[in-house]
Structure 1
């Protein structure tokens, strides 16, 4: 008999995870099923208890439950603790263990563009929310020598820098306006905010007037596939990366933790792009 996997979030009707994971199960001839469960904040504890009772093998967690769910788990992985959020849970003999695969999923996607040069890059992260914490943590742990965090409120950026620095990374915080003035010092610029996401597609997270033509510009957003931020960066000669690779990467890592099998990531990406109407 197949196993059941799922997603806890609110809302989840837009989620691409069910189609992506169910296609991967079929490709590997696994008789499993992935279902999205729309769970209100007030029902989260009951939902987790229901997962225990039903012996669901594993599940993903998305907005707005990534932080709150940690209260109801038996164990939380060290990196998830640093990030302060869980996006993947494995049911191991009745014990619910939380992980965060967002950061590693992003790193793997990024390395396809940067290669080993990443370990020599000066990086700017725009934003200081949950996604920024995942990206900052994994890049710090990887050994990126210099990371700057630009945010509307420097205090929030400073908290992130103090709590998530895993290595000898030199960290600075600044305002978005300050970062824009010296944008040419950065080799890699990463937008972790929702600025530019559909339907507000005409917004920019930072002014790109001082962008270097040989820089890499990354946006965690994947709807639209090419945000205005990426369009302008590409027009200036920069190498660009959207958020599809991160989404597929975090999903593939969760899949591996649940099943012990490695899915075909290129096929997963194709399924996601089909849903997004791109190629």
Structure 2
């Protein structure tokens, strides 16, 4: 087989049933593979999201999970080329480590020093980060623009970094980052420097221990985003903001956690009468949609995906 005899583009399914419609969920000799490389990862909802999107749109693709840590990552990335996969998602602990095995990075990935999506174009592997895109787009879906807004951001890790970078790239006026002085502090300092050098966004970093500054920043912000793990199991009974008076009604309160569906932070914000309170499901779906678009050139049917994945939970919220 020559190098050009088979494209790794995910094409429309050619096989049809008796009714003339594409047979969805079909695997044949033309099926193109994408995947997810992380450890652990068997709990991931990404295969459900992507495979149902392929089926809904009649695309001949398949999405599989591969439990891969740093020790097997080089071989796994080489397999993307060898198997002519269209690409792969990447999650912890591989988001930084994978960069050394790629050929190119998107501007946002360079700024974040992290990758969550790989695209294979005939052996050239490009790394992207779509987490921040997911955050911004999930707000757009609700009719909310971040442009020229002031945002207080709690956290400096794997979710917070792309949120800060993408928000700065997309025109947020000011980002006030708060984090404890842990192993993420150096990354937070690097994020501040990078954003200052490459965007027009004003950005600062403050120790979360300074609760007076934290309270004042939230009161002055249009958006408060918690991108820490607080509120997620086993910390589901915790929140960084306990007092509803810290919030004002016209702001956005966004928790990147999506299990439980209503976090303690969200309950505090709702008690304060905040008009726009969101969990992380929209961000999760939209970051996946951004990866899907990179691989297929098509829009993920996000309303359909939300319905099949979360409709029962939303009814019971």
Q: TM-score range by the shorter chain?
A: over 0.9
**TM-score normalised per structure 1:** 0.93
Where does the alignment leave 5 or more consecutive residues of structure 1 unmatched?
Answer: none
Find 1:199's aligned residue among 223, 227, 234: 234
Superposition pairs of residues 32-181 of structure 1, within 5 angstroms: 32-113=61-142, 115-116=144-145, 118-153=146-181, 156-165=187-196, 166-176=198-208, 177-181=211-215
1:193-228 deviations in whole A, cap 9, x for unaligned?
111112320011234442212221001111111111
Distance in structure 2 (CA, Å) of the matches to 1:39 and 1:141: 31
Larger radius of gyration: 2
1:138-197 deviations in whole A, cap 9, x for unaligned?
111112112111111266533321123442222222222234331311221000111111
The alpha carbon displacement at 1:114 in A equals 5.3
Quick check: 2:87–2:119 contact (8 Å CA) kept in 1? yes
CA RMSD of aligned residues (A): 1.7
**TM-score normalised per structure 2:** 0.83
Count of residue correspondences: 277
Q: Secondary structure at the match of 1:42?
A: helix
1 or 2, which has the higher helix percentage?
1
Distance in structure 2 (CA, Å) of the matches to 1:218 and 1:168: 23
Quick check: 1:252–1:262 contact (8 Å CA) kept in 2? yes
Distance in structure 1 (CA, Å) of the matches to 2:48 and 2:187: 36
Distance in structure 2 (CA, Å) of the matches to 1:180 and 1:133: 19
Quick check: 1:147–1:171 contact (8 Å CA) kept in 2? yes
Match of 1:2 in 2: 31
Quick check: 1:83–1:130 contact (8 Å CA) kept in 2? no
